[in-house]
Chain A
Amino acid sequence: MYLAIDTSTSTAGVALLAEDGAIRSELTWVAGRNHTVELFGAIEQVLGQGKGPLSELRGVVVARGPGSFTGIRVGMSAAKGLAAGLGLPIVGVSTLEAEAIPYAWSGLPIWAVLDAGRGELAAALFQDAGSAWSKLEEEQILSTERLCQKVEQHSVFCGEMPPVAEAYIRERLRDQAVFPAGPARLRRAGYIGYLGWMRLSHGQSDDPVTLAPLYLRHPAVLEKEGGAL
C-alpha cells in the first residue's frame, strides 16, 4: 500500500492506496495553519479506516508544492520521516499536477492554479494529447492578465482559484475558459497518491536527501539589494 500526504495549502489531505493504485481511504480537511498539529491524527485515521497497517506500506508520496512555505514543509518532513523510519521509497509530486490530472480525459489544455498572494497566481499547464500526459508550462508565478495572454484555445481552469482571478478570466476569455463546478475543485490526496503510485509501481522514486519543496519565488524578488531608501 502507498500513503499520500498533501499539506500544500490550507486544504490538506491524506490518502491510502492499494498495490494496484485503488484508493482505500482518503481524508480531506481544512487545516488552516494547523498542519503540524493535525497531520498525524489524519494519517492514523486514514491508515485505520483503510485497514493499512504501517507494516504493509510500500512507499510514501508527498505533495511538493507550490503552496504555502510552512505547509509544504510540514508534509515534506512528515513524509521523509515516515519513509526513513520504515525504510520506504519516497516520491514528490507537483501539487498543480494533482489539481490538473482529474481533467486529463478532456484532452484540453489544463491550467492548474493556486493563489500566490498579492493578486498573483502560481500556475502550470498540462495536457493529455493523444496518449502522453505532459507538462507544457512549468510551475510559475504570474498575474492573471499574463495567464490569460498565454491562453490560445479552449482550456480548463482548475485549482484553488481566488474569486477575483476567476471573475477576471471568465470576463476576459468567455467561452474559451472551462471551469469545473463546486466540489469537483477540491484538491484530493488521492490524486497525489495516484501520480506517485504511477512512479513507485514502476520502481522509480526520488532521492530523499535532495527531494525539496517546490517553493516558487515571486519574479520581483531580488537577490541583492540594500542601501538607503
Chain B
Amino acid sequence: MPALSLRLTTRSPEETQELGSRLGALLRGGEVILLLGDLGTGKTTFVQGLARGLGVKEYTKSPSFVLVNEYQGRVPLYHIDFYRIEGGAEAWDLGLEDYVQGPGVCAIEWAERGMSALPPERMIVRLRRISEDQREITLEPHGTRYERLVAELRETGR
C-alpha cells in the first residue's frame, strides 16, 4: 500500500456511504474516482455516498452514453459502470473522454476493465469483503491533487 493511502474498515453499508459522502464533500469537479473490487463489495454503495456528499438531489439519465448515469449536485456526478466493457478502446469509443474532461466528478465501477482509457491522475478506491458486513476500503491517491484529498479526508475524520 503506497504511503499516502488511507485504509479503514467499515461495518455496515451506512458506514461505507458515510465515507463516500465525506470524500464527496471535498470534491470540486474534474476528479476521477475508480472503484475496484469484486461483485457486491460496495462500489455502488460508496458512490451513493459520494452523491450525497456532492449534494445530489435529482436523478437524470445520460442521453448519449448508456453506461453513464448523470446526477446534478454541487457539480455534476457521472456514475459510470465498466462492467460490460472489454478494454479501454471500447470505453473510449463510447465517448468516455467527454466525461473525464467534463466539469463533473467521474466515479467508475469496474474501472480495471478499461484502465488504459483513464487518466493517470486519479483516486483508486479498493474494496474488499472481510465478512458479511465488513469491508476493507483503501483510498489510493495518484497525483498531488488526490494526495491532498486524502490528507483532507484524514483531517475531517478526526
Contact = CB atoms under 8 A, between A and B. Distances in A.
Interface of A: 33, 36, 68-71, 73, 117-118, 215, 217-218, 220-229
Interface of A is mostly: loop
Given A70-B64, A118-B119, A218-B117, A224 B92 contact: no
Interface residues of B, number: 23
7 contacts: A68-B101, A73-B95, A118-B119, A215-B93, A223-B87, A223-B88, A225-B116
Interface in B83-100: 86-89, 92-93, 95, 97-98, 100
Contacts of A229: 36, 112, 115, 124
Given A117-B100, A221-B117, A226 B95 contact: no
B102 interface: yes
B92 A218 contact: yes
Given A221-B89, A222-B89, A223-B87, A70 B98 contact: yes
B64 A223 contact: no
A117 B115 contact: no
Nearest to A226: B113
A221 B101 contact: no
A75 B64 CA distance: 14
Given A69-B95, A221-B92, A226 B86 contact: yes
Contacts, number: 57
A221 B114 CA distance: 8
Nearest to A118: B119
Contacts of A68: 98, 101
B87 A220 contact: no
B142 to A, nearest CB: 12
Nearest to A217: B92
Contacts of A33: 102
Contacts of A224: 86-87
B88 A225 contact: yes
Contacts of B112: 225-229
A222 B88 contact: yes
A222 B119 contact: no
Nearest 8 interchain pairs by C-beta: A69-B95, A222-B116, A221-B88, A224-B87, A223-B89, A117-B101, A69-B98, A221-B92
Given A215-B93, A221-B88, A225-B87, 9 more contacts: A68-B101, A69-B97, A69-B98, A70-B95, A118-B119, A222-B88, A224-B87, A226-B113, A228-B112
Contacts of B116: 220-222, 225
Nearest to A119: B119
Contacts of B36: 229
Nearest to A69: B95
A69 B116 CA distance: 18
A225 B89 CA distance: 10
Contacts of B87: 222-226
Nearest to A33: B102
Nearest to B92: A221
A224 B116 CA distance: 9
Contacts of A217: 89, 92-93
Contacts of B124: 229
A83 B36 CA distance: 45
